[in-house]
Structure 1
Amino acid sequence: MEYLVMLPGPTNVPERVMRAMITPMINHRSDDFVELYQDAVEKTQKVFKSSGEAVLLSASGTGAVEASVINIVKPGDKVIIPTNGEFSGRLAQMLEWAGAKVIKLESTPGTNATFDQVKEAFDNNKDVKAFYCVWNETSTGTMIKYLDKIKNLTARNDAFYVVDGVSIVGGEDLEMDKWGIDVAMTGAQKAFAAPPGISPIVVNERTKKYMNANPPKTMYFNLSRYFHYYEEAKHTPFTPALPLLYAYREAMNVILEEGLDNRIRRHRICSDALYSGLSAMGLSPFAKEDARSTVVVALNYLDGLEDKTFRNTLSDKFRVLVAGGFGNLKGKVFRVGCMGEVNRYHVMRTISSIGSTLEMMGYKTKQMEALKVADEKLKQL
């Protein structure tokens, strides 16, 4: 029996997307490649709702995030970034390694820096070069909900606006051009429901001009090289992961066939069902209500519940995979992914399996009530 992958990525991949990888090898300097890559790029622009240039990096999501840093940030630049968990902390570290003067807006895990705090940071730093943020902090199950307001701050002095959307693009509404976002990226293995290894980064025209005029001293993640190769021949400067590109394009087809609005609505309904159902069972969400993520549901462990035993039992007995906590949260929370293909079946089986696992470990749960609550929410699908 296959695992039900309810991780915050990688996630379940549709069979048609997996089959797309079983394609005879082609020359990455051929017309066949041009057709594949250009099609994938144009569909990526539709998903990001951007007229900017999409570069499909053969890399993990971290590679795309690092590319955004080394192509924009120079030593001495002031950069504002909210931090509240593992991945925002890593991004802040990348910015510091690039030589930036990093202004961290730290908040307790499970919460977000408020928009007023971001505004205050801009008020106090008129010469800020960029605002970076991790839209969805996977480690804590929190999501920033004021992305549409940030352009009012960056517009003051044309500061760059960069969004790390690695774990959420395709699962929540993104209006890249409308919201004034200069650079955004994601990872294929998250809400796109594709295999890991392709990470798109989308760059608008004014940022592209800046990158072309100020290329970094690096080879693989030098985005200017990708821009030039695409302009000249619709190629990539380095050998891409061809089978993964076929799968990625098919994942884009799946997304656009469903329709972005329908896809986001499905994610939100399933997320509501997971939060409501698991709460009815007696588990409490880790993130504060106004900061909770749609695509990563983080839950506090019940008193005395041992992390590895719980997750191993859930995996071995019910073939359902969930993730544990990071760093200081290790052993304190577990995380359920709600992304990609997630639908009624995924939600109901996950809730049922978690309830049965807890019962096996000696905890009394309201499993039937939890399933009824979730089922009621899922009737909206």
Structure 2
Amino acid sequence: MVTATDNSFYPRRKLVMLPGPTNVPERILLAMARPMINHRGPEFHQLYEGILRKSKELFRTKEGEVVVISASGTGGVEAAALNVVRPGDKVVVPVFGEFGERMVEHVKRAGGSVVEVRAPYGTAPEPSEVERALKSSGAKALFVVYNDTSPGVTYRWLRDVSRAAKDVGAFVVVDAISVFGGDELPQDDWGIDMVVAGAQKCLSLPPGITLISVSRELKDYISRNPPSTTIYFDLSKYFEFNKKLEIPFTPAIPIFYALDESLNMVLEEGLDKRIERHRLAAGAYYSALEAAGLKPFVEPRVRSNVVIAVQYPPGVDDAVFRDLLDRKFGVVVAGGFGSLRGKIFRIGNMGDISPINITQTLLGIAGALSDLGVRVDASAMLAAARDYLKPLMS
């Protein structure tokens, strides 16, 4: 029999500092507790109208059309590939992390011929390399992971390569799952045709939905050439149902309520202020970790503001460190995966993150490493973070 005090059913609240899923604020949790409604009725129509209107402010698009799919972010990227790519199409994909590798696989599964532009993990391809690939290949599209959470790299030349793609008549598709709402991404100004956004990252939602914003030009293409290999991810169906403020298939209604509340919170804070908060928080982490003698994995010019990747000191075991950090200090961080497994740990700096959360995380890291025999000066860490955190305390 499970009782109200059974910790197996009610686990203690931890500070989740993963690169997704992230901590979910109480306002959003409460929003999901509302009664179920008819997804073909006026209450849902009103809910969805607000979501579409407010999300366009975050995408910074006037021309784009937003759809919301009940699926994880990977479902959104799969929808992008299936709706844009046709057999034989050439697609340029910069690859600098595991999610770039996955993007290549998505495009190939859709029948595309991939032109890969690679860089070692921890770095990113130069924009000139991507531009050359676009010009020489006659590509139909450029697919870019804006922020690859596996190494903690943000592609800082997205605007430049987007404009280069438009110069050769290619569509631009951006996986912004982990960075949407946490860094600059003005869709219209940067000439991006499709942005795929995630829920469980900088929007502080539970996993389960993905938002996709599509330019007028790409929407017209998809409507004229709907994919023949999918029903659920056929965006032309979503465009049609948007006209009556509905979803073609049964939506995850509680998470739609959560999304609406999340959008309210972002707009109350102000998108520019939210982006600046993520930038300052990232600066606090990088400065503090380096002051403690720890080495960020990524070269400075492409470091992410929403995922902080840190190399392990010699002799520190990944599983032992993260287990200790979790059990003793109540902080959950991620390890590396793929070729980076056991070499780095990753701190999610996403969504509803405060100076208190950052301080707790830094002190937990210092404590766990000290317990494992690595000398860490916690005072130096906090002193280095202070200048970045001060503006967030006002």
Q: TM-score, normalised by structure 1?
A: 0.98
1:341-356 superposed matches below 5 A: 341-356=352-367
Distance 1:155 1:167 in 2: 24
Supply the AA of the counterpart residue of 1:54. V
1:287-298 counterparts in 2 under 5 A? 287-298=298-309
CA contact (8 A) 1:348 1:375 kept: no
What value does the CA root-mean-square deviation take over the aligned residues?
0.9
Displacement after TM superposition at 1:376 (Å): 2.4
Unaligned stretches of 5+ residues in structure 1 = none
> Aligned ranges for residues 127-146 of structure 1 at < 5 Å?
127-146=138-157
* 2:160 pairs with one of 146, 149, 153: 149
Q: Is 2:242 aligned against 1:230?
A: yes
The answer to whether structure 1 residue 333 and structure 2 residue 344 are counterparts is yes
> Which string of whole-angstrom CA distances, capped at 9 and with x for unpartnered residues, describes residues 347-367 of structure 1?
111000100111111111111
Q: Tell whether 2:355 aligns with 1:310.
A: no
1:9-38 per-residue CA deviation (whole Å, 9 max, x = no partner) reads 001111001100011110000000000111
Structure 2 Cα separation of the partners of residues 133 and 340 of structure 1? 22
Aligned to 1:190: 201
What is the distance in 2 between the residues matched to 1:165 and 1:226? 20
How far residue 380 of structure 1 moved from its aligned partner, in angstroms, is: 2.5
Q: How big is each residue's C-alpha offset from its partner over 1:239-276, in whole Å with a ceiling of 9 and x where there is no partner?
A: 00000100011000000000001000100000000011
How far is the alpha carbon of 1:2 from its aligned partner? 1.3
Query: Which of 89, 93, 102 is 1:77 aligned to?
Result: 89
Cα shift at 1:322:
0.2
- Deviation, structure 1 residue 154: 1.8
Residue pair 2:131, 2:165 contacting (<8 A) in 1 also: no
> Secondary structure in 2 aligned to 1:67?
helix
| Contact 2:135/2:168 (<8 A) preserved | no
Residue aligned with 1:245, SS: helix
CA offset digits 1:287-346 (Å, max 9, x no partner)? 111111110000000101000000000000011000000111110000000110112011
Structure 1 vs Structure 2: percent identity of aligned residues? 44
Whether 2:59 is the aligned partner of 1:48: answer yes
Residue type at the aligned position of 1:65: V
Cα distance, 1:149 vs structure 2: 1.5
Q: Match of 1:334, SS? A: strand
Residue 3 of structure 2 aligns with which residue? none
Is 1:11 equivalent to 2:22 in the alignment? yes
* Counterparts of 1:2 and 1:371, CA distance in 2: 24
Corresponding residue SS for 2:309: strand
The residue that corresponds to 1:366 in the other structure is 377
Distance in 2, Cα, partners of 1:93 & 1:354: 35
Name stretches of at least 5 consecutive residues in structure 2 with no aligned partner: 1-11
Q: What is the rounded CA distance, in whole Å, between the counterparts of 1:11 and 1:201 in structure 2?
A: 20
Give yes or no for the alignment of 1:58 onto 2:70. Answer: yes
Q: CA deviation at 1:379?
A: 1.2
Aligned partner of 1:346: which letter? N
| CA shift digits 1:202-231 (9 cap, x unpaired) | 101111110011101211000000101111
Letter in 2 for 1:185: V
Residue matched to 1:220: 232
1:24-173 aligned at under 5 Å gives the runs 24-51=35-62, 52-125=64-137, 127-173=138-184
How many residues align? The count is 379
